[in-house]
A and B are shown apart, each in its own frame.
Chain A
Amino acid sequence: MTETTRKKGLSRRTLLKSTAGLAGLAAGSGAITGFPYVMSAEPKVLRYLGTAVNEGDDISKQCLKDTGIKIEYITATTDDVTKRVMTQPNSFDVLDTEYFSLKKLVPSGNILALDSKKIKEFDNITPVFTKGETPGGKKIGGQGTAPWKVLYLEGKDSKTFSKTATEFVTLIPTVYNADTLGIRPDIIKRPISSWAELLNPEFKGKASILNIPSIGIMDAAMVVEASGKYKYADKGNMTKEEIDLTMKVMTEAKKAGQFRAFWKDFNESVNLMASGETVIQSMWSPAVTKVRSMGIPCTFQPLKEGYRSWASGFCVSKGVSGAKLEWAYEFVNWFLSGYAGAYLNRQGYYSAVLSTAKAHMEPYEWAYWMEGKAAEKDIKAPDGSLLEKAGAVRDGGSYEDRMGGVACWNAVMDENDYMVRKWNEFIAA
Chain B
Amino acid sequence: MDTSEDILQQASPDLVRGSETARRSKAARLSPSFISWLQAGPMMLVFLAFFLIPLVFVVIVSFWDYNEYQLLPAFSGRGYTDTFEGCIAQLPDLCTIGRTYVKTLKLCVMVWAITLFIGFWVAYFLAFHVKSKTWQMGLSLLCTIPFWTSNVIRMIAWIPLLGRNGLVNSGLLKSGLINQPLEWLLFSEFSVVLALVHLFTFFMVVPIFNSMVRIDKSLIEAAYDAGATGFQTLVNVIIPLAKPGIVIGSIFVITIVMGDFITIGVMGGQQIASAGKIIETRVNALQFPAAAANAVILLVITFLIITMMSRIVDIKKEL
Task: Give A contacts to B, CB under 8 Å.
Answer: 79-80, 82-83, 86, 103-105, 107-108, 205, 211-213, 254, 259-264, 271, 275-277, 412, 416-417, 420-421, 423-425, 427-429
Contact = CB atoms under 8 A, between A and B. Distances in A.
B187 A260 contact: yes
B19 to A, nearest CB: 47
Nearest to B294: A424
Contact of A424 (B165, B187, B265, B281): B281
Interface stretch (B55-63, B196-204, B206-214, B284-292): B284-292
A271 B159 contact: yes
Interface residues of B, number: 33
A86 B70 CA distance: 8
Contacts of A107: 68-70
Contacts of B96: 421, 424-425, 428
A205 B188 CA distance: 12
Nearest to B98: A428
Contacts of B278: 424
B82 interface: yes
Interface of B: 68-70, 82, 85, 96, 99-100, 103, 159-160, 163-166, 183, 186-187, 265, 269-273, 277-278, 281-287
Nearest to B166: A275
A424 B273 contact: yes
A104 B68 contact: yes
A417 B284 CA distance: 11
Contacts of B286: 82-83, 86, 104
A412 B68 CA distance: 9
A264 B280 CA distance: 13
Nearest to A420: B285
A421 B78 CA distance: 12
A108 B186 contact: no
Contacts of B277: 424, 427
4 closest Cβ pairs, A-B complex? A261-B269, A428-B273, A262-B270, A79-B284
Contacts of B68: 103-104, 107, 412, 416-417
A213 B271 CA distance: 13
Contacts of A263: 270
A104 B286 CA distance: 9
Contacts of A420: 281-282, 285, 287
Contacts of A423: 281
Interface centre among A107, A259, A427, A429 (most CB of B within 10 A): A427
Contacts of A254: 271
A428 B99 contact: yes
B69 A275 contact: no
Contacts of B99: 428-429
A262 B287 contact: no
B221 to A, nearest CB: 54
B164 A104 contact: no
Contact of A108 (B70, B103, B273): B70
Contacts of A83: 283-284, 286
A416 B285 contact: yes
B173 to A, nearest CB: 13
Contact of A427 (B183, B270, B283): B270
Nearest to A413: B68
A420 B72 CA distance: 19
Contacts of A211: 270
A65 to B, nearest CB: 36
A263 B271 CA distance: 10
Nearest to A412: B68
A136 B216 CA distance: 87
Contacts of A427: 270-273, 277, 281
Interface centre among A264, A428, A429 (most CB of B within 10 A): A428
Contacts of A103: 68
23 contacts: A79-B285, A80-B284, A82-B286, A104-B68, A107-B68, A212-B284, A213-B281, A254-B271, A259-B271, A261-B270, A261-B271, A264-B270, A275-B160, A275-B163, A275-B165, A276-B163, A276-B165, A417-B287, A421-B82, A424-B273, A427-B270, A427-B271, A427-B273
A417 B290 CA distance: 10
